[in-house]
Chain A
């Protein structure tokens, strides 16, 4: 029987949501494959995660070592090469750790590599057919990946349905002894927590969120005026923070804040998955964008094809006059 491996992210004794998503991804490659979770870490938290995962994976390979308490991709890549048999298919979530470890892992395992898979259309002999996106989500592609010598595939978080069946009745296997050398020429020092700003966007029910479409720092005022009229707070996408026009604490997305408003006004935001990853709780999303094909319109509830610089002031005026 074929085996598919999934590297599991976890924190505080809880597996990441992607742990169950990777099961669906694996089943789309081969519905009959034996699924093996590989979990690294240390101590009681690791045990809890591993025990929980036996419900969902056929085998759970636990690698316990104090040196693995913080996941250093440079260390874990070597470890995976030591314990995972050559020619295997390995799945991992496409987020900051996956981006750090996966490309190099494919080289060291001598397999092919596909990153940021959004869907998998199955396997035809040695080839796996995968759907992914290019150009910030503005074009989709089918790619084929020759998995004859194995493959490393990173999967976009949230793109695969979590497999909640929990019927695997799997077995825990302690592989700690096979880990090998756990040193690397990159040493973890500490995690510096993000600064909190003057406004907490996570507390607001209504967000007027501006993206690169705002074009100029001075135009932020237009968004602020709309927010004031609506009783909302202004948040933004990443390029606005990169340009230093707003504080990092105002950024919505995977590398910014996770927000749960009732209404989210996406003004000149294209709708990248990293941005959408920070919007939770299914708010009512209004998108205003001058490009009728912007990906944001696929997730918004209401869309308006317009120039935000014209549209926002008009909306502000109308609301103000009510």
Chain B
């Protein structure tokens, strides 16, 4: 099975305290630790496991700047066979539809049976997979937490729905699936693995290579635009307990006693 996985380089929210810049134009990017989007990492692991079972190849692709190459290499160190970087100044500030259009143009240059994305990334929109599928007229399922290959033309899939219940379906290939965390246990990637793929050639494709009309992508093509970042007012917010640890614990215990939090 030929599998393509769309990945994104994002600030690691588990490692960073995200702060909005004073002028609201962006978040503070100095000293941010970046990594591959958590959901995408599960998608790549799933693709590798499917390939190892039924044969084929795994290609990872990202829309981003030069630095995004590092996440492609990381996922190749995990076991993906190929990486493709889609990068062009004209892609900057694309909205979700723009990103999906860029990916679609690349996908149509190849032949893939299965296209995976993460369920969502750093902007929490969860839109690229579903848009891509609709643009390509392919069946789609979101929040997928189980994939079984039935045969060359069918997958049995599980979707995560409310309360931890699982919605089982059959879906025809080729299709697009967005992957939910927890579907597998992504393998560890060591420094050694990264070194191994350090010099592998990763092609870079831009607007011209993809034959995209420049006004379909980037800032000009975007119908949805982010105007600013801001920090919402705290509202009532929590009463922050202060003092020495001892004092804090004493105050907390008073609260807990009053609220029935100690038996």
Contacts and interface: CB of A to CB of B under 8 A. Distances in A.
Interface of A: 72-74, 77, 95-97, 99-108, 112-116, 129, 132-136, 138-146, 184-194, 205-206, 212, 230-232, 238-239, 241-244, 248-249, 251, 254-258, 262-263, 265, 270, 284-287, 291-293, 297-306, 310-311, 314-315, 318-319, 322
Nearest to B95: A112
Given A113-B224, A314-B245, A263 B256 contact: yes
Contacts of A306: 245, 248
A76 to B, nearest CB: 13
B66 interface: no
A286 B256 contact: yes
Interface stretch (B74-82, B84-92, B107-115, B155-163): B155-163
Nearest to A130: B224
Contact of A304 (B128, B131, B158, B252): B252
A303 B130 contact: no
Contacts of A112: 95, 97, 223-224
25 contacts: A99-B142, A103-B130, A106-B131, A108-B134, A112-B95, A113-B96, A116-B125, A132-B124, A138-B17, A139-B18, A140-B230, A141-B229, A185-B171, A188-B167, A188-B168, A192-B158, A206-B261, A232-B261, A232-B263, A241-B182, A298-B235, A298-B238, A302-B238, A302-B240, A303-B238
A304 B240 contact: yes
Given A186-B139, A305-B240, A116 B245 contact: no
B226 A143 contact: yes
A94 to B, nearest CB: 8
A70 B239 CA distance: 45
A242 B238 contact: no
Contacts of B261: 206, 230, 232, 262-263, 265, 284, 286
A99 B235 CA distance: 29
A141 B141 contact: no
A108 B143 CA distance: 21
Given A107-B134, A116-B124, A230-B263, A141 B234 contact: no
Given A77-B134, A112-B223, A135-B13, 9 more contacts: A99-B119, A101-B130, A106-B131, A113-B224, A115-B96, A141-B227, A185-B139, A286-B255, A298-B234
Interface residues of B, number: 81
Contacts of A254: 162
Contact of B140 (A97, A104, A129, A319): A104
A112 B165 CA distance: 31
Contact of B238 (A114, A244, A297): A297
Interface in B18-59: 18-20, 27
Given A96-B159, A262-B260, A136 B164 contact: no
B181 A293 contact: no
B259 A193 contact: no
Given A95-B162, A112-B97, A189-B169, A230 B262 contact: yes
A154 to B, nearest CB: 9
Q: What DSSP secondary structure best describes chain B's contact surface? A: mixed
Query: What's the dominant secondary structure at chain A's contact region?
Result: mixed
B246 to A, nearest CB: 8
B163 A257 contact: yes
Interface string B142-159: 110000000000001011
Interface of B: 11, 13-14, 17-20, 27, 95-97, 100, 119, 122-131, 133-135, 139-143, 156, 158-172, 175, 181-182, 185, 223-232, 234-235, 237-241, 245, 248-250, 252-253, 255-256, 259-263
Given A104-B134, A255-B160, A263-B261, A287 B229 contact: no
A225 B27 CA distance: 38
Given A141-B228, A315-B249, A104 B130 contact: yes
B260 A205 contact: yes
A144 B238 contact: no
A108 B100 CA distance: 14
Given A99-B119, A139-B27, A146 B142 contact: no
Which of A230, A298, A322 has the most chain B CB atoms inside 10 A of its CB? A298
A187 B170 CA distance: 5
Contacts of A108: 134
A74 B230 contact: no
Contact of B124 (A106, A133, A230): A133
A259 to B, nearest CB: 12
Contact of A238 (B13, B181, B253): B181
A194 B224 contact: no
B227 A318 contact: no
B142 A100 contact: yes
A136 B135 CA distance: 28
Contact of A284 (B135, B232, B250, B255): B255
B129 to A, nearest CB: 7
Nearest to A142: B227
B91 to A, nearest CB: 18
A100 B119 contact: no
B236 to A, nearest CB: 8
B238 A107 contact: no
Contacts of A140: 229-232
Nearest to A285: B238
